[in-house]
Amino acid sequence: MPRRVLDAHPVRALEDWMAAEGGRGVARAWESKPDDLIATISASGLRGRGGAGFPTGTKWATVRANHAADLPSTVVVNGAEGEPGSYKDRSILLANPYRVIEGALIAAAAVGADQVVLALKSSAPDVVARVRQAIEEMGAAGWFQRVAVDVVVGPEHYLYGEETALLEVIDGREPFPRIAPPWRRGLADVGDDTALAARVELAGDDGATEVPPALVNNVETIANVPGIIVNGPAWFREVGTDESPGTLVVTVSGGSARAGVAELPMGITMRDAIDLVGGGARTGKVVGVLPGVSSPIVTAADLDVPLTYEDLARLGSGMGAGALMVIDEDVDPIALAQGVSRFLAVESCGQCRPCKQDGIEIASILERALSSAPAGRDRTELDSRLASITVGARCSLATQHQTVVGSILAAFPGAWERHAEAGAAPATPVQIAEIARIDDDEAVLDAGQATKQPDWSHHDTDSGAAPADRIDQRADAQMGLAAEDAVER
């Protein structure tokens, strides 16, 4: 199996990284023209491993083109890893933070950034400590003379991983998604809560705007960069397919015999990935696989789908973060839909009313259906809420709710009817939450999710207020509405 981004043994010190591949990529980058670096990444076909599979070279070129006149851009490494079923970014960082930091320095050279921020999570203190230690070593060895490298430790919320919410947190606010994408509006001033907080200027390609863009890339995406710069695009393409070159770091969990993380060639089948990494299904029978909660369920009939962006899209699903949550025959599909729905309804920030309100209602209808026979009007209401939840949605979370829950209901058409039968047995709820850690081949889920209320408190009852209203009224400043008023509040 190729080992390109997930080192087989943890690299414990900078000198060990230097003795292996370390330093060659960044040295090459510093003697290259930015456009050549971007051309190399584009030619490699590297696609973002954070979920959307967006071409990395195109993103870098866009950020470079949108630079601001006075303020340099920032490279942000997205290490939030909030996707249920995913543990790959933390695994990569724990095994070798130097590779990721080196990749980020190369990205900074390509887009003209003078700072790198590694955005990590308070719920992963081991990762924060490991990365900080690596930064200290690299700083002492003189790696950061051109570019400052820092760590920002963000909250546990799922939305923290959404790229514009991530920028909000780095700018000192709450993880509520913005309208402007990172290539139109990056960071005002790292660590300064007030600077440009309410400005709505966007970076533009005329070089005349004040707010610089930021490059946001996932940990695994950035971990691929040094190898590509040192070995070239053709080497990168030796593994994988034309449209999905390279490797993929997958996490297998749920109903598999064991939980685990491994780097596999793109194009391996989903079934083989589950067998290799997870030892197959615990009960012997897989009825489906959820790629986190970002893409529709893949049913048992399609388990031989190659793990590539194009093949999963053809099925109407998606790669997401390579999180393969195995669903075995013991799982009740309505309970699964309810678990997904509750997670997404709770994690919605409520800036867009349908996302929060329809989301909560969908989760409630499904929850009621688990314990008491649902009526026909419940299903009508459920379908209607699933149709309207995306109205006015600012980020993809609402669409995820619509498509993932909708896909489970469609994949198991008899499940709702079985609950509707008189005397149907109540189903066991399914917990959908982030993986806190993997211990002895067992995925331990974030226990806090069970008590998290839709207002993002852990109180006994929910206040009914949306997190965006309850927690931080300054969020509206980012919407470009009454910006000056918002600053003065």
Q: How many CA atoms lie within 13 A of 482 on its CB side?
A: 8
Stretch that binds ligand SF4, among 303-311, 347-355, 362-370, 475-483 (CB under 6 A): 347-355
Buried b (16+ CB within 10 A) or exposed e, 100-128: bbbbbbbbbbbbebebbbbbbbebbeebb
Q: Work out how close the CB of 52 gets to ligand FMN at its nearest, in angstroms, rounded to a whole number.
A: 5
Query: What is the C-alpha separation between 457 and 453, in angstroms, rounded?
Result: 5
Is 49 near ligand FMN (CB under 6 A)?
Answer: yes
Three-state DSSP state, 383: helix
For tokens 């939305």, name the residue. 159
Decide which of ligand FMN, ligand SF4, none touches 153; Cβ closer than 5 to 8 Å per partner kind.
none
Query: Which 125-164 residues touch ligand SF4, going by CB under 6 A?
Result: 159
Q: Work out how close the CB of 348 gets to ligand FMN at its nearest, in angstroms, rounded to a whole number.
A: 9
Decide which of ligand FMN, ligand SF4, none touches 51; Cβ closer than 5 to 8 Å per partner kind.
ligand FMN
Decide which of ligand SF4, ligand FMN, none touches 50; Cβ closer than 5 to 8 Å per partner kind.
ligand FMN
Stretch that binds ligand SF4, among 54-62, 346-354, 369-377, 440-448 (CB under 6 A): 346-354
Evaluate whether 327 touches 270 at the Cβ level (below 8 Å). no
For tokens 């195109």, name the residue. 58
* Residue nearer to ligand SF4 on the CB measure, 93 or 395: 395
* Residue nearer to ligand FMN on the CB measure, 177 or 288: 177
Is 83 near ligand FMN (CB under 6 A)?
Answer: yes
Is 355 near ligand SF4 (CB under 6 A)?
Answer: yes
Is 123 near ligand FMN (CB under 6 A)?
Answer: no
Beta bridge partners of 363: none
Buried b (16+ CB within 10 A) or exposed e, 411-435: bbeebbeebeeeebeebebbebbbb
Query: What is the C-alpha separation between 14 and 8, in angstroms, rounded?
Result: 16
Three-state DSSP state, 416: helix
Distances (CA, A) of 134 to 76, 137, 225: 17, 5, 18
Q: What are phi and psi of 71, to 5 degrees?
A: -100, 135
Stretch that binds ligand FMN, among 64-72, 75-83, 262-270, 372-380 (CB under 6 A): 75-83
Which of 81, 156, 168, 171 binds ligand FMN (CB under 6 A)? It is 81
Distances (CA, A) of 242 to 233, 309, 327, 388: 12, 11, 30, 37
- Count residues binding ligand FMN (CB under 6 A): 24
- Count residues binding ligand SF4 (CB under 6 A): 14
For tokens 């660590």, name the residue. 191
CA-nearest of 263, 291, 317 to 88 is 263
* Residue nearer to ligand SF4 on the CB measure, 25 or 350: 350
Q: Where are the alpha helices (DSSP H) in 145-238?
A: 163-170, 219-223, 225-231, 233-236
Query: What is the C-alpha separation between 342 and 277, in angstroms, rounded?
Result: 28
β pairing state of 323-328 and 247-254? parallel
Q: Work out how close the CB of 273 gets to ligand SF4 at its nearest, in angstroms, rounded to a whole number.
A: 30
Is 397 near ligand FMN (CB under 6 A)?
Answer: yes
Q: Which residue type sits at 126?
A: D
Which of 44, 348, 364, 407 binds ligand SF4 (CB under 6 A)? It is 348
Binding mask 358-397 for ligand SF4 (x = CB under 6 A): -----------------------------------xxx-x
Decide which of ligand FMN, ligand SF4, none touches 288; Cβ closer than 5 to 8 Å per partner kind.
none
Query: Which 193-232 residues touch ligand FMN, going by CB under 6 A?
Result: 216-218, 221
Is 41 near ligand FMN (CB under 6 A)?
Answer: no
Q: Work out how close the CB of 478 gets to ligand SF4 at its nearest, in angstroms, rounded to a whole number.
A: 11
Decide which of ligand FMN, ligand SF4, none touches 43; Cβ closer than 5 to 8 Å per partner kind.
none
* Residue nearer to ligand FMN on the CB measure, 299 or 357: 357
Beta bridge partners of 252: 260, 324
Query: CB neighbours of 249 closer than 8 A, spacing ≥ 6?
Result: 5, 6, 49, 88, 91, 92, 220, 261, 262, 263, 264, 322
Q: Work out how close the CB of 89 gets to ligand FMN at its nearest, in angstroms, rounded to a whole number.
A: 7
Q: Which residue type sits at 419?
A: H
Binding mask 163-192 for ligand FMN (x = CB under 6 A): x-----------------------------
Q: What are phi and psi of 443, to 5 degrees?
A: -80, 120
> Which parts of this chain interact with ligand FMN (CB under 6 A)?
48-52, 54, 59, 78, 80-83, 158-159, 161-163, 216-218, 221, 395-397
Q: Which residues bind ligand SF4 (CB under 6 A)?
A: 159, 177, 348-352, 355-356, 393-395, 397-398
